[in-house]
Chains A and B, each alone.
Chain A
Amino acid sequence: MFTKVSDSNNKKITIYFEDEPVEVEEGMTVAAAVLEPSHGWTRTTHGGHKRGAFCHMGVCHECLMTIDGVPNQQACLTPVADGMKVYRQNGEPDFHQEEGKHA
């Protein structure tokens, strides 16, 4: 479905997808960066079904991920940053589990 057109000269940086380091180019979106390592699924629904980025333009909300500790982030609208920690979001975010966020 997706093929990379060409290598750009953008700086290579490292983000962490589910704690695994992934080398990506600066300027990409998180959704694009994790396409390969995530096997195309970025979250599960309320009912436990897999979902992945569909529109890549901020409309469908299928690419919601937990990015640097903040849940419900639209991965397709979030540019990558060095050292970023990205997790799949399983079901709804839980107010009880986010450290420091709702203190």
Chain B
Amino acid sequence: MSSKRTAGAVVIGGGAIGTAVACYLAKDGVDVTLIERGEFAWGTSRRCEGHIVTYDTAPGPHSVFCKRGQEMFYEAQKFLPVDFDFQPEGIGLLVDDENHLETVKANFEGKKKEGFDVTLWDREELKQHEPNIGDDILACLNFNNDCTVNPMRLCYGLAKHAEANGATLMSRTNVTDFRMEKGRISSVVTDKGEIMTENVILASGIWTPQLGAMLGLNVPIRPRQGHVIVTERSKGLVSKAYVEYGYLLAKGGEKRDNVTPDMDKFGVAFVLEPSSAGTHLLGGCRRFVGMDTRPHPAVMRAIAERGQHFFPALADTRIIRCYAGVRPFTPDAKPIISPTHLGGVYVAAGHEGNGISLSLITGKLISDFINGSTPEMDLSYMHIDRFGFNPPALPIGAA
């Protein structure tokens, strides 16, 4: 095919970030084309749990950013055309180690100051709410506005809404080249024709570095693998989603001495999400094993063991599936939402483990960039310039 089309903006990547970027651009009146190599929600967005979280950021600017990102989901469920299993039950952060209590309490106070709806349960209160909780669990910090969604349905909803607002959706489309004119992007070449455009958003998660390389842009994202175990259906195990405090340590790559060597090695930390279908999604781990997405028996065993430590009743539940995916990890664990040194080229990627949570706010920010309105918050900590791998980026508006 050698057709030529034009678009106000081309978004590359059909996961949670790409579909959200396309959705908000289209809502804000930009003529968008959304390109996906496979089908929508084909990569990391179908291999994850759908937590919309604020539990994994310490109080500070990024915590407030995550909170805003979360608030957008309460709005989005009203206008998105697909029911994405929005469950605003809150998420509990479980503590099983005395040494962590102080940090968690400080977290609780800090989050309260930032206006979060948080509550702290001691062991007895936790036991009342969750009769199946393990005996060694000391406390639970509840983030009452955290919620869960079905990430695939979210992507479909965002893509459909973009389409309803005039976006062109192109699945099964491979980007083969970019054309530049006078330091600005001028077109995206695909195996289904060329699209003339002045704005390109690289929103391909873990595959973003490959696209960056085609442009001479260094995007420092590495794949960090995770596993999700799916249990058979059951009722009455838990009333909402839970995660352990150790999840934050595993995410930070810190050594943990209160878990088995295997759990420490694989970065295993407990996450449990009841799905609307009656199954439970049990995770997770963090491993640097390249692009390997094959479930590993030793990792599954460690995840299952960790799960039973928090909810011993899981021992009576069979596993029906397990899948692994790769998260887009950045060196400082913050996403890249940024213009670049190439005119008209933007990056929205690297949301390791927070892509679903931050999808909507990322979409809104990119739309603001392209519409030339400067966001009201300081986004420098998510700027690609912080790594120093590329020439300085163009300012918003000039890009």
A: residues with CB less than 8 A from B are 46, 71-72, 91-97, 101-102
Q: Which of B16-24, B208-216, B234-242 lies at the interface with chain A?
A: B234-242
- The answer to whether A102 and B313 touch across the interface, beta carbons within 8 angstroms, is yes
Binary flags per residue of B224-258, CB closer than 8 Å to A gives 1, else 0:
00000000111111000000000000000000000
Q: Which residue of B lies closest to A74 (CB)?
A: B318
- The answer to whether A97 and B236 touch across the interface, beta carbons within 8 angstroms, is yes
* Interface flag for B316 (CB, 8 Å): yes
- The answer to whether A95 and B237 touch across the interface, beta carbons within 8 angstroms, is yes
- The answer to whether A93 and B235 touch across the interface, beta carbons within 8 angstroms, is yes
- The answer to whether B278 and A92 touch across the interface, beta carbons within 8 angstroms, is yes
- The answer to whether A95 and B318 touch across the interface, beta carbons within 8 angstroms, is no
* Interface flag for B77 (CB, 8 Å): no
Q: Which residue of B lies closest to A102 (CB)?
A: B313
Given A46-B278, A101-B316, A102-B316, are A95 and B236 also a contact pair (CB < 8 Å)? yes
Most buried by B among A46, A93, A95: A95
Taking CB atoms, residues of chain B closer than 8 Å to A95 are 132, 234-237, 313
- The answer to whether B313 and A93 touch across the interface, beta carbons within 8 angstroms, is no
Q: Which residue of A lies closest to B237 (CB)?
A: A95
Q: Which residue of B lies closest to A93 (CB)?
A: B234
Count of residues in B whose CB is under 8 Å from the partner chain: 13
- The answer to whether B232 and A96 touch across the interface, beta carbons within 8 angstroms, is no
What would be 14 A-B contacts, judged by CB atoms less than 8 Å apart?
A46-B233, A71-B234, A72-B318, A91-B278, A92-B278, A93-B234, A95-B132, A95-B234, A95-B313, A96-B131, A96-B235, A101-B316, A102-B132, A102-B313
Taking CB atoms, residues of chain A closer than 8 Å to B232 are 72
Taking CB atoms, residues of chain A closer than 8 Å to B237 are 95
Taking CB atoms, residues of chain B closer than 8 Å to A97 are 236
Given A94-B236, A95-B235, 5 more A-B residue pairs with CB atoms under 8 Å apart are A72-B234, A91-B278, A93-B233, A95-B132, A95-B313
* Interface flag for B1 (CB, 8 Å): no
B: residues with CB less than 8 A from A are 131-132, 232-237, 277-278, 313, 316, 318
Q: Which residue of A lies closest to B235 (CB)?
A: A94
- Tell me, rounded to whole Å, the shortest Cβ–Cβ distance linking A74 to chain B: 10
Taking CB atoms, residues of chain B closer than 8 Å to A72 are 232, 234, 318
Taking CB atoms, residues of chain B closer than 8 Å to A93 are 233-235
Q: Which residue of B lies closest to A89 (CB)?
A: B233
Taking CB atoms, residues of chain A closer than 8 Å to B313 are 95, 102
Most buried by A among B131, B232, B318: B232
Q: Which residue of B lies closest to A70 (CB)?
A: B316
The answer for the CA separation of A28 and B359 in the assembled complex, in Å, is 54
Taking CB atoms, residues of chain A closer than 8 Å to B277 are 46
Given A46-B277, A46-B278, A102-B132, are A92 and B316 also a contact pair (CB < 8 Å)? no
The answer for the CA separation of A90 and B277 in the assembled complex, in Å, is 14
- Tell me, rounded to whole Å, the shortest Cβ–Cβ distance linking A72 to chain B: 6
The answer for the CA separation of A71 and B278 in the assembled complex, in Å, is 14
The answer for the CA separation of A95 and B130 in the assembled complex, in Å, is 11
Taking CB atoms, residues of chain A closer than 8 Å to B316 are 101-102
The 3 closest A-B pairs by CB, nearest first: A95-B236, A92-B233, A96-B236
- Tell me, rounded to whole Å, the shortest Cβ–Cβ distance linking B307 to chain A: 14
- The answer to whether B132 and A92 touch across the interface, beta carbons within 8 angstroms, is no
The answer for the CA separation of A46 and B232 in the assembled complex, in Å, is 12
- Tell me, rounded to whole Å, the shortest Cβ–Cβ distance linking A93 to chain B: 5
Most buried by B among A71, A93, A96: A93
Q: Which residue of A lies closest to B278 (CB)?
A: A92
- Tell me, rounded to whole Å, the shortest Cβ–Cβ distance linking A17 to chain B: 22
- Tell me, rounded to whole Å, the shortest Cβ–Cβ distance linking A64 to chain B: 9
Taking CB atoms, residues of chain A closer than 8 Å to B234 are 71-72, 92-95
